[in-house]
Amino acid sequence: MPSMCDPVAPREMMESDGAWLADPHHQAWLAEDAERQLRFFLGSLKGRGRFAVLDHEGRAIPGPQELHTTTRLIHSYSLGLSFGFAEGADMIDAGMGFLWREHRDAKRGGFFAAVRSGVTNGTKMAYGHMFVLLAAASAKRAGHPDADRLLGDVAEVLERRFWDEGAGLFVEDWSEDWLHLSKYRGMNANMHATEAHLAAYEATGERAYLERAGRIIDVFIRRLAPEYNWRIPEHYTEEWTVDRAYEGDPMFRPRGTTPGHSVEWARLVLHYWDLRGRVDEDLPEAARILVEEALRLAWRREGGFAYTLDFDGQVDRKARYWWPVCEGIGAISAILKTGTFARGEEWYRRLWAFAEAHLVDRKRGGWYPELDETGRPADGQFKGKPDLYHALQADLIPLTQGVSRLQDGLEAWATA
């Protein structure tokens, strides 16, 4: 890692001059927090790829191992290698082996949603499969020898089982035996499909991945976002019509619209725009509007994003989670690197100051995932610190010069 200035906490920098993205003290703080997170989550590994969810102290929480946990850790430690954190190589090896041995359905194809000494949830979920693709792409870019095998396997499953050519989108949940496809259709899995396909394009150079990401963006960003006042509907019927009444899992499929996804989409839109050669003149403006509307409607007076809005743009669920703040940081940093956002610097600083004050665990590492109404860590929706992926990217994305090819950018940063 490059030699840098002493890290200065975001709250201590609030009155500093100049752009934070270029400030060496801010970059030092980002790098310090990224390394602290990567070290904390090394404790997830419990042998032969078994990854445990950790409590706030770093102790294992008993429970099944979910597909998105395995794959996000592979992806995160692949980013960590590019960042210069070599200690994560064992995490990637263990995760890749476990993914192939335990999550993968060797008989019927696809990947089980959760396992623990056998299959505990055999559903074949598009959401989880998108993270398999992301993990394979990131591991390939990091040079893992098994990445091509995994990438080819999951790409074939996505093409054969999940892709709806007529809609230009991915369908959602299959039964374990592939005999029953749910009638539910969702935006979230397609958003992560966009993320994973962009990463796969970067890892392989195969343009089909980029084109498929573009088709998804055409639906949700070019067509639906303007139609719904830049608040993208989450849920759809079997015929891909908006289902306003749907309410499912309170975390993954809440009713209404999700501001955190708006800002996540903004970053992905700029990622796609950059990889396409910046020829899509409408997309930077779309990214900016998505972020501005999410901040205007959902940023709470005391800080943090309200989790959901109703279809009139009013707050539905006030709960404050870590990941929308992380995605807001990533999106605003991308806009600041590429375009105009009148209050972008102000908002970038505000989000980081809030995160450092309320979400970042500077003593142990990792971010608290949920806050109560007083701004203290809570255990309502989540137990412990369930995820490295969102918060690590909040640290790493601002360190790089570009808005695409993150692993290339991190390698450039680490060797500067």
Percent of the chain with pLDDT over 90: 92
**Residue 4 pLDDT level (bands cut at 50, 70, 90):** low
Q: How many domains does the chain have?
A: 1
**Residue 198 pLDDT level (bands cut at 50, 70, 90):** very high
Element (H, E) at 332: helix 322-338
**Residue 351 pLDDT level (bands cut at 50, 70, 90):** very high
pLDDT at residue 278 above 90? yes
Domain assignment present for 2 = no
pLDDT value of position 1: 67
Catalytic residues: 261, 390
pLDDT value of position 251: 86
User: How many angstroms separate the CA atoms of 99 and 81, rounded?
Assistant: 19
390 contact partners, CB below 8 Å, separation of at least 6: 322, 323, 326, 327, 367
Domain assignment present for 4 = no
Q: Cα 285 to the chain's mean position, in Å?
A: 22
pLDDT at residue 257 above 70? yes
Q: What would the mean pLDDT of 342-347 be, rounded to a whole number?
A: 94
Percent of the chain with pLDDT over 70: 99
- Lowest-confidence segment of 36-45, 74-83, 166-175, 243-252 by average pLDDT: 243-252
pLDDT value of position 25: 95
User: How many angstroms separate the CA atoms of 133 and 71, rounded?
Assistant: 9
363 contact partners, CB below 8 Å, separation of at least 6: none
Domain assignment present for 244 = yes
Radius of gyration in angstroms for the set of CA atoms belonging to the chain, rounded to a whole number: 20
- pLDDT single digits (tens) 28-66: 999 999 999 999 999 999 987 799 999 999 999 999 999
- CATH code, domain with 203: 1.50.10.10
Element (H, E) at 192: helix 187-204
Structural domain harbouring 98: 10-414
Q: What would the mean pLDDT of 248-265 be, rounded to a whole number?
A: 95
pLDDT at residue 3 above 60? no
Q: What would the mean pLDDT of 188-207 be, rounded to a whole number?
A: 98
Domain assignment present for 5 = no
- pLDDT single digits (tens) 290-325: 999 999 999 999 999 999 999 999 999 999 999 999
Q: What would the mean pLDDT of 221-235 be, rounded to a whole number?
A: 98
- pLDDT single digits (tens) 124-179: 999 999 999 999 999 999 999 999 999 999 999 999 999 999 999 999 999 999 99
User: How many angstroms separate the CA atoms of 187 and 265, rounded?
Assistant: 11
* Beta bridge pairs of residue 305: 299
Q: Where are the alpha helices (DSSP H) in 228-321?
A: 259-275, 283-298
pLDDT value of position 15: 74
